[in-house]
Structure 1
């Protein structure tokens, strides 16, 4: 991983295999790859397992939109 600086390499070394897998599985969802394709590339035996990543991405998108909306309306300021 030559494009990572020393700090990035240390962080990657501390990242669990589960976290790496979650990131790998979530990225296609975030990129709007069709659900059936995400299911196939992740190798999940069950569609229910793949649904976890779709749900996680939807939750992340809602949080980002809520934060943006709060900034626009000033409701996020104290």
Structure 2
């Protein structure tokens, strides 16, 4: 998969092409878990795909998604400027 990505992505610079090959398996599994939850894959399905014996282990990814949502909302409101209402 990484070879195909590198060979087919002509718009990537050399450094960007090297990055997927340097990723560790644990990082890729973590990204999969977090993104799956973010894309609303049922948590029990993520549990089975990840091979977790305990659903509690899989809920780590739910917490990561909640944290991401909170950070995105905080960034939105940090840039929010209330409109002045005039009569």
Alignment TM-score > 0.5, same fold: yes
Aligned to 2:35: 27
List structure 1 segments (4+ residues) > 6 angstroms apart after TM superposition: none
Q: Which has the larger radius of gyration?
A: 2
Gaps of 5+ in 1: none
How many residue pairs align between the two structures?
A: 74
| 1:59, distance to aligned residue in structure 2 (A) | 0.5
Alignment partners' CA distance in 1, 2:60 and 2:18: 28
Aligned to 1:11: 19
Gaps of 5+ in 2: 83-87
TM-score by length of 1: 0.80
- The alignment yields a C-alpha RMSD, in angstroms, of 1.8
| 1:3, distance to aligned residue in structure 2 (A) | 3.0
